[in-house]
Amino acid sequence: MTTTQVTLVQIDNYGPWTVTPEPRREMDLQTLQSRLFADIAQFVGHRDAYVFFTRFDNMIAVTNGVDDAAHAALQESIGNRYPVSISLGTAVAERPVDALTSANRRLQTEGSAQDEHRTEVLAGEYLAETTDTDLQIAHFDVVDVTGKYTDQINEFDTFINVERAYASLMHHLREAHGALSFFVGGDNIISVCPDLPERAFTDAVSHVESDVGVELQVGVGTGSSAHEAGFTAKHALEDCRRDGTSVELFGAPAIGD
């Protein structure tokens, strides 16, 4: 059984800030958002956690093994260095979407994302201990994106194909299994999953191919932290590339072995 600790990162009262005293230059907002993401990624990455940029004003992190003191330190450091502050809600559940919903609710019950008095909320629960099977992470990518898209058609049309595959996959895994999937650049999608069998990934790949005509491959890993699960998933994806298979589970014997 998986146990996912999710942290919702929300910039406090960001909407009003972006237009006060008048609308701010868009590239200044983009710079702030991407630097904030980079800072948070570096902070949690050093603790073997993952963070995904999602909408940038809200980011979703998988923080198994990261305790309340570390969350408080991150919040304090951002507050000291940025013109905005962040609130953090954390929760633990078997299914990633359930952990996120609980984490989110902790902030929602404290007030609105656009309430100037609701700032630097730090509310949550943290895993007391971790085990090697707490997290299952799947790393998907498009089979031969370079040959089929990048070297053939213009960048925007390549982007449309990758985004359509992402939309199809994220909906399918969210509805069927309560998994959370994130586009992470290039042709890569990382899914934080509950404990799923190989069949679920075969079905997901088939679903995307029949839905939007994009062929995916996926490596699946497990671990006590997002880094550990994600890193084994990357190795499993290398097995797909080497063997021409569409699904590989790290450590599972290959069919025919």
Ligand X SMILES: Nc1nc2c(ncn2[C@@H]2O[C@H](COP(=O)(O)OP(=O)(O)OP(=O)(O)O)[C@@H](O)[C@H]2O)c(=O)[nH]1
Q: How far is the CB of 235 from ligand X (least distance, A)?
A: 11
Other beta carbons within 10 angstroms of residue 180's beta carbon come to 23
Rounded to 10°, the helix 68-81/26-45 angle is: 150
Q: Does 41 bind ligand X (CB under 6 A)?
A: no
Q: Does 145 bind ligand X (CB under 6 A)?
A: yes
**Helical H segments across the chain, by residue range:** 14-18, 26-45, 68-81, 96-108, 145, 155-177, 198-212, 226-243
CA distance 214 to 158: 11
Q: Which stretch binds ligand X (CB under 6 A): 23-31, 107-115, 144-152, 193-201?
A: 144-152
Q: Does 144 bind ligand X (CB under 6 A)?
A: yes
- Judged by CB under 6 A, the chain residues 216 through 245 that form the site for ligand X are 234, 241
Q: Which stretch binds ligand X (CB under 6 A): 5-13, 24-32, 167-175, 184-192?
A: 184-192
Say if CB 199 and CB 229 are below 8 A apart: no
Q: Which of 15, 16, 45, 186 binds ligand X (CB under 6 A)?
A: 186
CA distance 232 to 251: 9
Q: Which of 142, 205, 214, 247 binds ligand X (CB under 6 A)?
A: 142
Helix (H) or strand (E) holding 249: strand 247-249
- Judged by CB under 6 A, the chain residues 86 through 105 that form the site for ligand X are none
Q: How far is the CB of 101 from ligand X (least distance, A)?
A: 26
Q: Does 146 bind ligand X (CB under 6 A)?
A: yes
Q: Does 187 bind ligand X (CB under 6 A)?
A: yes
Say if CB 49 and CB 28 are below 8 A apart: no
CA distance 214 to 199: 19
Q: How far is the CB of 106 from ligand X (least distance, A)?
A: 29
**Dihedral in degrees, nearest 10, Cα atoms 33, 183, 196, 88:** 10
Q: Does 206 bind ligand X (CB under 6 A)?
A: no
Q: Which stretch binds ligand X (CB under 6 A): 37-45, 54-62, 130-138, 178-186?
A: 178-186
Q: How far is the CB of 183 from ligand X (least distance, A)?
A: 9
Total residues interacting with ligand X, rule: CB under 6 A: 14
Q: Does 248 bind ligand X (CB under 6 A)?
A: no
Say if CB 251 and CB 207 are below 8 A apart: no
Q: Which residues of this chain interact with ligand X, rule CB under 6 A?
A: 141-147, 184-188, 234, 241
